A and B are shown apart, each in its own frame.
Chain A
């Protein structure tokens, strides 16, 4: 049942999954079948969170974990004559065995042997009864044989579970050794048993007949329904695992696995004794992130820690900088931070060992977990409300788990154990605080003056030699270091990157430049490191670790660094031995600069270095400093990344890595990406000594100490951004996690020195690496130095912008001017000149496609037989550029051009003026066919959504994948503000993630929401190319997107951090090829259209994209150049002299583009393409898609490009392009369909209607279809308030009232899940608890997370608490709610929020507009507010009146007792007004104007 092996660009290592999960526990009664039934019902009701692949009857996996059903087994085995001991005195091994009888027999023997080896008793085997007819064909074809082995206890009860664990481990290892790869034990315990597989969740009990039996009784049922990104049937990847079930993704998996492996040699345990050898590797290779985490939980629990303890140490809550947390708990976390790094990433985890069942969330709380407790003794927790039915008066508590919190049910104690209580219990087991006090080393204790005396600065000449030898350029000083040192800011750039990849550059490149950052998209969210900094930490611990299985004070004898950049003085102090019993060994990382065979010299230097490092550990060093400081004329620096990774991995392989800390002192590292790479490949701290020297020598007017501090700060800020792109919060988890891919480094080199790093195209090896290092070295040490400034001494650079004598760029004076001449004069020869300059890259390629030739057909077709250009251009789209980033003139010019030729323009993320939805007088249209739905949801109203042919969900953008953005207030003029539903002058922040997409099933939900509003529009999802994107795309296809857009890393028209433009993502050639291949392999290719963009410039580019698998093509920069852009790369300054990237009216007046220019360009491209098609023998573009047999790798006379291996990129998957027919789901629920029918008359005649409906959590996006219909008929204005009234009851599914338009009033009695009022567009929503509910409304949660996300107008009244991120990015809705979770009113830019109860942390983070009124009963609200952009103020009379009216409305709609009480005591309650600074300023200006 393993996944298919890697083929082409597909690699099973990239698999992702997500899901719905939950548990039910019965605290009052003995085991019952009812609980099993309730568990299965949860599965059924969460079915929409799982997925089915190309075969609609084979699910991605579903499962249930229950207490061992003793009665059932006793009876069924009794029939076979086997007698079971008493419950608890035997274990059950739930086995997946081979269908082949001989193999199966061998597997059974292995397990029996393991049982006997551990001196337990083999009682007998039982066939697990299943009904294969319940499965889809794919699942059936891959179905294993299910058998249970019953094992009698022959040891003390206290160690029986551990013994069973050891049996399982031994059997697993022996099976592996015997080549029995498929053998799998789903569970082996005396307490619990797991039934899981590829049955649809709703048919799980029809498949596993045991589950139907009345005697199958349990007090516990833990269930899981999986959504995988592939369609390959893998039975063992279904959850639950032995201890956990997981929704989310572990972003730091590679690092966690690596560190765990590194810890193995240090493990010792009395309990396991010599059997420990059976356990290694602790993490079974090839498992998913969840399976790996389960392996570790499993191991640590068996090792003696309690399950809650293990969960707390592996998935700790955010504890740094949390003054309100009890001291002993902080100490617990701090102590464990020196033992193990967090398993970081979005996670809702349910866990159980039979005694405890619980759930916990990661520190960010990015997956939902709701729970209900009843008077009758049930506790139900699940991804959604509404998964179990209870009488309204039975429910005594409703809540949702908060970030980092734990919900624990203890069957022994027979009650819920609260987060505070269990954590207090665990944290006080040992005197952790005392241990830390006595052992932890603080860098703050260093005597800096003493250190400074030891580190004199380099002389200018020596500094310049070294700067040259390390490849410093003038650009490094001007563009990178100056802004960092003077303002602590990361440098910005714009217009993407059009310089060659490092491996194609003819200039010697730092090894750093061959590595590209990876980032999160769809399957997990990036984080906002600025506004959500409370979960982020740069703290790292450096030093040797100990045995994970024991707890001793000595294990925290580590150096704790608040951030990983060491100044020169700090490093000198460390090396100088200020830390006493913390031996430091400095190892030079140099190689012979005069060797006749540089590659061999480098190789032997590395081998020697690794040996020296091992020796240092053996000698007892606590810290190794890898240093290239001692370089000189005869000794060149080893590229420090290579040295670091080599030592890290060599020590890990030798089992010595965790006995020592690794610090890097280097002249090579200078920018954020460099430091991130060093940490990502194992360094604990970095001292970029030469960067500090360079900064000291800069001619800027800032004191030296400040420059250094600014620089350290800027690197730290950048690191947080790099980490957050991958959704990682803790530096300790990032360290060694290798979240990079290599682009142009050879397979062999990667395997040897950077194991585990994807390297899709091979590339250079040590000889080339050494040669580049030596060329630099010679420039530094072999050319004469004149007395001159640093800038004069250095190479010009020219990487960030074209410069004479600098790096090559595709956009050059020549290509820009030739293209502009071509489109303005309709001059085909000038276009040819342009296209030739770009296409004919000869022996000096810029791009991967520049390394290939098109293969002509043996028999070309006549040009006139090729489909006409007018047809081809319909496949063209212009890029997503927001109105705001570019001017109205430029934006509308593109739209008019594309509408004239039947292509598509893209609104970008800034909304669109409704006036553009109407045709112009001359017949032209300014309407963007593609409307983007991006993370900020600016102007995403029902009306906007119904005026689109395509809705594009932008997950990431090429220039800065994994990041948000902002439009500074000074760029927001009246018009932009109106379109974005904001006010002029207020800064508008786009969050890094979509707050309604933290995982793949969330994306499926958003697609559902959009289809619910506008079923006619096709939905596309925009991803950015990186290794693994194909797997993500398969998931997106399964989430029912119609199109997938792959953007290259090099595109980008707006401003972005330079480190993102240059160091994140990969070229589209790779992402596109991988996506096409993986979709074909999965039988999903014909479900979606593939679009591509990223520096597409010519017909040849389009041809190559089509051959790699694209159906449609996007252009952004080139149409702008056609419209007059001259690549000023000043988009972020608002000074564009050609009126494109500016809002300045004077500059906009200079815009000289015309639709004809864009049209001429696209037709030139199409005609060029046609000629190529004719030559290759294609009559239509459709015939070309995926035909990589027409691409040939050119022999290149280039020292580096010649090493590339494109086999995997150009591979054609060995599968039919056509797959299984797509099962289109219904985009509107039955309940809603009836609703829309009933409302027809109202919609037509604007007459009032009232309807009653009953909802369940399967009724998703309720109201969205009605909103869409309303917006189509009545535009943005809608109908009079309350024209259509819906009285609903029950539990609403996700996205209740999404995009509800003006004229709609939806009143829900019951509760609702996440995303209530998402995109609210004028409608009114009210949610209230049932009248009989015994709980107090303001103490219980009745709506989920992320309500009112992107709402633009309308009102929401909630008689209860809401979850996290209430009113996130609200720009106009008004709301009353009785309590909110963390991050309330985040990024809000308008509207009013009234909170009549408690609030969580980080309230108002990034809030720039609107007002919140919070009832602050205990006076503690202020401590939970993020005050960067807002002030807390008392209310004035105007507020009082407005607030009172809102609360009265609230009471009228919800009958809230809380609201009534507040009104009754009006004037006595203390409300605090939360007022954004910018908003206040703007309001004041307006008032006085």
Chain B
């Protein structure tokens, strides 16, 4: 800790965002990269706590106090090393993570946490600007072959860790580019995709082979993989979306959020979808059902596509504006948040349950809903509160229910847990020897940072299994 009293001298200053009027005109990242001098000052606020609650907040156990200190001392290269020691893709988490670390920062007790996320992104970007991500090739090869299925955060992290441990790693990705949800789920205004390309290049240099456009389960059978490889790691996500099976669901203009978001991302990558499958918000009244991050992404994307109006409906009640006593630090604060997308212009409503979609000519024109209250854990309609909302485009952003069915999971005969996720032990091992599962596939829908953390953990498990060695805790 360079400056023991930094937190007293320096107030928290958050990162700048481009003005709304400007940023909605394009798809580029809306956050303005931090001024290095200011970031350094912000890093001085870290107190190097005896119990770093931020560690608890961060699933990766990022060595936040250590790299904050190095940033404060001006050693960005050293900070990057420390950051990369626990996090394979800080340039990703530095952009898209909701930063539970900041919520649990000791200074968050007074709502002034260290700007950990900004510092993380600054370190990662500086590293890239200073010469890219140097490959770390293993000094010894084990000769073992590992297949990694899926190139989302979990798959990529697992693949990189396993390659660095000396194994020959092949990543199977059904899309035509590396990244999974990172590439096609996250809008460019939150993260431009060149960061993924840089990482993929680094991983190739470290020996990872990417087989793109190959869908395991369809193009290659899961059991076949087991014959060709010594171990298989599934990072197939939890991509089955939660549906809303109500009257009118079949109407045109009612879509899952991910279809909409992926299309826009492909469009930006130069792949226009077929005309009849095009989903565009341009000139439409858009309703987003679901108040989470995906919903927000739909809002921001709709605004940029030129929607005439955007509204977002949430089933749960409106959260309080400030932290409630029963929800003290360091718990995640259950307060009303307004995302950058929501700032760009979305009407939000809470405690609304959609009952049916009304259509005209097979196209949705409105949705019928009712207000609800939470009673004994159940949503109960409020009599006489029915409402009808006109809509040309409805986007369902209500989360995901688990891994997709009918593919590799069945082919391998993996046991599932009660929630429909692949069942694993602490090392990531599934019910089939040699098969491991990481990330949302085993955990259920979660954050990118959990995906990376799981990928690392499961890579360690798979590595130990391959070496037939007991799991030992060495460096992180």
Contacts and interface: CB of A to CB of B under 8 A. Distances in A.
A1147 B9 CA distance: 12
Given A778-B472, A796-B475, A804 B56 contact: yes
Contacts of A814: 56
A1129 interface: yes
Contact of B328 (A791, A796, A817): A817
B475 A813 contact: no
Contact of B61 (A803, A817, A827): A803
A450 interface: no
A945 B164 CA distance: 68
Contacts of B331: 817
B47 A1130 contact: yes
Interface in A234-274: none
A792 interface: yes
Contact of A1130 (B50, B56, B110, B140): B50
A1405 to B, nearest CB: 31
A792 B476 CA distance: 8
Interface in B451-476: 469, 472-476
Contacts of A1138: 109
B475 A782 contact: no
A1133 interface: yes
Best-surrounded residue of B4, B53, B104 (most CB of chain A within 10 A): B53
B81 interface: yes
Interface in B312-337: 325-326, 328-331
Shortest beta-carbon contacts, A-B, top 4? A1129-B50, A804-B61, A813-B56, A804-B55
A459 to B, nearest CB: 13
A1467 interface: no
A1146 interface: yes
Given A802-B51, A817-B330, A786 B110 contact: no
B106 A1137 contact: yes
Given A784-B140, A791-B82, A1126-B53, 7 more contacts: A495-B50, A788-B136, A813-B330, A820-B328, A1130-B47, A1133-B4, A1135-B8
22 contacts: A789-B81, A791-B82, A795-B475, A796-B63, A801-B50, A802-B51, A804-B58, A805-B476, A812-B56, A817-B330, A817-B331, A825-B325, A825-B326, A1126-B50, A1126-B51, A1126-B106, A1127-B51, A1128-B51, A1128-B106, A1129-B49, A1134-B4, A1137-B106
A389 to B, nearest CB: 63
A1127 B48 CA distance: 11
A803 B56 CA distance: 8
A1147 B474 CA distance: 38
Nearest to B107: A1137
Given A779-B472, A784-B140, A1150 B330 contact: no
A794 interface: yes
Nearest to B134: A787
Interface in B67-125: 78, 81-82, 85, 104, 106-107, 109-110
Contacts of B104: 813
Nearest to B58: A804
Contacts of A793: 475
B325 A785 contact: no
Interface in A815-836: 816-817, 820-821, 824-825, 827
Given A784-B139, A805-B61, A821 B328 contact: yes
Contact-residue size bin, chain B (C-beta under 8 Å from the other chain):
35 or more
A793 B474 CA distance: 8
Best-surrounded residue of A784, A814, A1128 (most CB of chain B within 10 A): A784
Given A778-B472, A784-B166, A805-B473, A811 B56 contact: no
B307 interface: no
B436 interface: no
Interface string A763-790: 0000000000001001100111111110
A1165 to B, nearest CB: 21
A217 interface: no
A433 to B, nearest CB: 54
A794 B66 CA distance: 14
Given A784-B140, A821-B328, A1146 B8 contact: yes
B475 A784 contact: no
A466 interface: no
Interface string B200-226: 000000000000000000000000000
B52 interface: yes
A398 B100 CA distance: 76
Contacts of B450: none
A786 B47 contact: no
A781 to B, nearest CB: 12
Contacts of B136: 786-788
Contacts of B267: none
Given A779-B472, A785-B139, A796-B476, A1135 B47 contact: yes
B311 interface: no
Interface string B1-25: 0001101100000000000000000
B51 A813 contact: yes
A885 to B, nearest CB: 16
A778 B469 contact: yes
A364 B116 CA distance: 55
A1152 to B, nearest CB: 8
Interface of B: 4-5, 7-8, 47-53, 55-56, 58, 61, 63, 78, 81-82, 85, 104, 106-107, 109-110, 136, 138-140, 164-166, 325-326, 328-331, 469, 472-476
Contacts of A507: 473
A1126 B475 contact: no
Contacts of A699: 78
Nearest to B7: A1137
Interface in A1099-1130: 1126-1130
Contacts of A1135: 4-5, 8, 47
Contacts of B476: 795-796, 804-805
Contacts of A1130: 4, 47-50
A468 interface: yes
A372 B47 CA distance: 63
A1207 to B, nearest CB: 32
Best-surrounded residue of A813, A820, A1128, A1133 (most CB of chain B within 10 A): A813
Contacts of A816: 51
A795 B328 contact: no
Contacts of B7: 1137
Given A778-B469, A1130-B4, A1146-B8, A813 B53 contact: yes
A824 B81 contact: no
Contacts of A789: 81
A784 B56 contact: no
B49 A786 contact: no
A794 B82 CA distance: 12
B138 A784 contact: yes
A775 B473 CA distance: 10
A786 B164 contact: yes
Contacts of A821: 328
Contacts of B469: 778, 782
Contacts of A1147: 8
A812 B475 contact: no
B56 A1128 contact: no
Contacts of B55: 802-804, 813
A1150 B61 contact: no
A1062 to B, nearest CB: 15
Contact of B50 (A784, A791, A1127): A1127
Contacts of A1129: 49-51
Contacts of A827: 326
A801 B136 CA distance: 30
Interface in A446-488: 468
A1258 to B, nearest CB: 53
Nearest to A508: B472
Contacts of B82: 791-792
Contacts of B165: 784
A1128 B107 CA distance: 12
A832 to B, nearest CB: 16
